[in-house]
Structure 1
Amino acid sequence: MKFKLIALLLSVILLIHDINGSPTIYNEDNNDTTIRIPLRINPFYKRNTPIEHLQAIKKRNNNNFYENKSREKSNKQNKKKKSARLPINAVGNDNQWTGDVHIGTPPQKFTLEFDTGSSDLWVASVFCEKVMCNGHNLFDPHKSSTYHELKTDWDMGYMDGSNVTGFLAKDILRVGSIEIHNQTFALATNQTTEFQKDVVDGVIGLGLGTNTRIKGTKTPLDNMIDKGLIKESLFSVYLVEGKNGGGGEYLFGGYDKSKIKDDITFVSLSSTQEWAIPLTNIYVGSNSIDITGNVLIDTGTSVILLGSKAAKQVFQQIPGSKIVKLKGNTMDVEGSWVVPCNTTENILSQKRQKHQSNPKQEQQNPNSQQKPEEKQPQQQEQITFIMGNREFVIPTGDIILEKVEEIPHYCYAGIQAGAPDDVWILGSIFIKHHYLIFDQGQKRIGIANRKNP
């Protein structure tokens, strides 16, 4: 029996593909250190791609959200190493996934956005103006015996003039079964109207510690690692689309191989500041865009955000696509890309016409090895991203979002322009089709095709 178990483990290890060395293997076990947290669905959320586009641009182009004068140090705790499994909830049309955490003693519950594109933790508080924070869970420091105020002002400002203000404090943060003592976080005291419409009570940043906006503090993930609270210096993300019931999970300290369909490709980070990796090409159907860049894998952004030139090259391959001006746009943004709502059919039709115009071309080399641009017709409803010498695809239908009210038969696109040329964004439109491993210890990201729920 023991020999069979060892052989099985070795066979599993051989299935893992790593372009940067041997991966850390962790086969998630079902023990008392793993916990699920029930989540809720908000059925009233309505997608607004122009706003989501603007939010992605603001986030990508404004790296210095916070100002802070304090530098904090955390005391190590002698805790048993664990893994924390947090189920998450899909809000709206695959726009936002949320999970619950607890802060304080006794614990106060908050529904947060888990965001790999930022590195700080903040929640709404009882000091927030009532009109702006109605309908949200508010942290009350008077009800926590472990609360410690740092008396440091805090501010997060956006390029369009909206902002969140507050102050810093420390308390116990509970993520699943993990308790992080003396975690620095911000208590929001004032919000602009955008927050009032959001379903979350704040944000937990899962970005790299080198990118903290609250200078001199450690991220929740940094503290999990430094205090020895998780088995491995990584976490994994599994998002489930709304059409499959919504939800998913974050797993801190490991990854769940039962949710992975095939090999894992690990790609080294291209940045010391964020979860960014090299992208070596994009295909629309069988058409190569021939572009390279770096992409931030960002769970806190719903759309895919490219540079203006790269986005234009992508949409040149989609018949009928065009730019429309953003509603209420106060930024220097060209507009939002829109596509015919039957875009998938148009791409397939375009491919058939190419085959019909040159029927002898395929017969000249019937035994030649296929390249990405020579996929079979049934595979043409895909957009392919090349990372780590491997293809990762999303269905073309997934970039066709809600209808444009002013233009009949047109829909907003899930790929937009507005990112700087150095780092683009792959948001949840990409992430929900794959299993992602964010390995802080080895400075890399693992990507695999996920199993359907």
Structure 2
Amino acid sequence: MKSLIIVLALAIASEAFKVPLMRGKSMRVAMREKGVELPYVDPGLKFASPEVQAASGATVEDLIFQGFYYGAISVGTPPQSVPVLFDTGSSNLWIDSVYCNSQACNAHQKFNPQSSSSFRWTNPRQTFKLQYGAGGMTANLGYDTVSVGDISVSDQMIGLSATLGTQPAPFAGIVGLGYPRNSAKGQPTFMDTMMQENLLSYDCVAFYLSSSGAGSEIAFGEVDYSKVRSPISWTPVTVENWWQINTQGLQINGQETGWCQYGCPTMVDTGTPTITMPAQPFYTLMQAIRAQQDNGQFYVPCYAVSSLPTIAFIIGGTPFPVPPSAYVDTSHPSNGNCYLGITRTYLNDLSGQPMWILGDVFLSLYYSVYDRTYNRVGFAYNV
């Protein structure tokens, strides 16, 4: 009986660190279902400077509403529930507030700091702006208690939206999980506050993202080994800005391409839906698989998907295959054609090297762990 109690206690403790995630439908997919194919937007813009983003003409929807997994946090005393996007590709924490009256903010129950006894404004009062393409959002900065599962982070700096130029979305804020160096206005990240308050037994966050969305979760301070079926393979973070790593090789049907023989700077981003490649290898791959182009998006006949090659990324000396069933979207065919979950970028990383992005197409195959203790990223096969 005693051992059973211990097991149950451990199970309860484990569950307390997890937040269930839901998969949102991207605007691109929603429009595709109506027979409209949205034009190509460079995913690398998310990691570009505000000046480059603003000049691009891209919208907020282009950058952050192209596919996402979101879950709930609680803010304030008593707690007010807020659905948020958990994003490893950004670092700020902001939520919709009663100070914002845009269409996007009014679609949600908005956070009201006057209803929270633990809220306080920064002194002196501060604001910040985040650039999302040609649009963006502004927020007032304050402090309050933020909770995930049973973990409560006291005195977390949060942004309360004042303006938000987006279409309504299922989530009402973003929890950025990148490094503090990337945080606007020097706002301490949620992970940094957790670490400073010694709330985590292991300073990490881990994602299980299923392709269907079912069972997806984020775990703080632990690895959920029930969600993996292989050992975790680790690779160091090369730039502590985003979760940037180095890919050592890329294979097509087991044959090395040589594209990453000198290493490929790679962002691991839960907020990007696709696998993103530099333009030159991308077009070589599209030609090899005979993909066709429509409005900047690439597709293949749905009947041909099973004959396409498997792509494998070599990370930390371990190959991580991505079969065509993962990188081609067969759930939303258009006139017998299926669109690819691989696209290209023309932008570089901070060092000026061509950028790669491992987004949700890759991350829905592999459990991913973002480790601040040892500044590394780990991957293991999903169950």
TM-score normalised by structure 2 residue count: 0.82
Pairwise mapping of residues 232-247 of structure 1 onto structure 2 (< 5 A)?
232-242=202-212, 246-247=214-215
Residue 441 of structure 1 is matched in structure 2 by 373
Equivalent runs, 1:17-166 vs 2, <5 Å:
29-32=10-13, 34-35=15-16, 46-47=29-30, 54=41, 56-62=43-49, 95-150=67-122, 151-159=125-133, 161-166=134-139
Q: Find the partner of 1:225 among 186, 189, 195.
A: 195
Letter in 2 for 1:339: V
* Equivalent position of 1:323 in the other structure: 293
Q: Counterpart in 2 of 1:418?
A: 345
CA distance in 1, matches of 2:246, 2:20: 36
- AA matched with 2:110: L
| Aligned residue identity for 1:296 | M
C-alpha separation in 1, matches of 2:83 and 2:153: 17
Contact 1:289 1:313 in 2 (8 A): no
Q: Specify the alignment match of 1:332 in structure 2.
A: none
Q: Is the 8 A contact 1:100 1:110 kept in 2?
A: yes
Q: Is the 8 A contact 1:294 1:424 kept in 2?
A: yes
Q: How many residues align?
A: 347
Instruction: State the match for 2:297 in structure 1.
Output: 336
Cα distance, 1:311 vs structure 2: 1.2
Shift of 1:51: 5.8
Separation in structure 2 between the aligned mates of residue 272 and residue 132 of structure 1, nearest angstrom: 32
5+ residue gaps, structure 1, are: 1-27, 67-93, 326-334, 348-379
When structure 1 is superposed on structure 2, of 173-182 and 336-345 the one drifting more is: 336-345
Change in Cα spacing, 1:64 to 1:203, as seen in structure 2 (3 Å) is farther
Instruction: From the superposition, tell whether residues 147 and 301 of structure 1 become closer, same or farther in structure 2 (CA, over 3 Å).
Output: same
3-state DSSP of counterpart to 2:154: strand
Counting only pairs closer than 5 Å after superposition, residues 272-421 of structure 1 correspond to structure 2 as: 272-292=240-260, 293-319=264-290, 321-325=291-295, 335-347=296-308, 380=309, 382-401=310-329, 408-421=335-348
Greater strand content: 2
Deviations 1:125-172 (A, max 9, x none): 11111533232131111111111122212212233x222122111111
Taking every aligned residue pair, what percent have the same amino acid on both sides?
A: 26
Task: Please give the alpha-carbon distance, in whole angstroms, between the structure 2 residues aligned to 1:146 and 1:155.
Answer: 24
Equivalent position amino acid for 1:144 in 2: S
CA distance in 1 between counterparts of 2:24 and 2:235 reads: 35
Per-residue deviation, 1:53: 5.8
SS at 1:302 equivalent: coil
C-alpha offsets along residues 230-264 of structure 1, whole Å, 9 cap, x if unaligned? Answer: 0011121111221xx61321111110222221121
Contact 2:104 2:164 (8 Å CA) reproduced: yes
CA distance in 1, matches of 2:26, 2:297: 24
Larger Rg, first or second structure (1 or 2): 1
Instruction: Answer yes or no: is the 8 Å Cα contact 1:237–1:251 preserved in 2.
Output: yes
Relative to 1, partners in 2 of residues 1:33 and 1:411: Cα closer, same or farther, differing over 3 Å?
closer
Instruction: Name the residue aligned to 2:220.
Output: 252
Is the Cα contact below 8 Å between 2:26 and 2:67 reproduced in 1? no
> Unmatched 5+ residue regions in structure 2?
1-8, 54-65
User: Do 2:105 and 2:164's aligned partners in 1 also have CA atoms closer than 8 Å?
Assistant: yes
TM-score, normalised on structure 1?
Answer: 0.70
**Which of 355, 360, 381 is the equivalent residue of 1:428?**
360
Cα deviations across residues 18-50 of structure 1 (Å, max 9, x unaligned)? xxxxxxxxxx94244642556667789744586
Question: Residue 20 of structure 2 contacts residue 217 of structure 2 at CA under 8 Å; is this kept in 1?
Answer: no
Paired residues of 1:436 and 1:445 also in contact (CA < 8 A)? yes
In structure 2, relative to structure 1, the CA distance for the partners of 1:415 and 1:170 (3 Å cut) is same
User: Judging changes above 3 Å, is the alpha-carbon distance between structure 1 residues 307 and 403 closer, same or farther for their aligned structure 2 residues?
Assistant: same
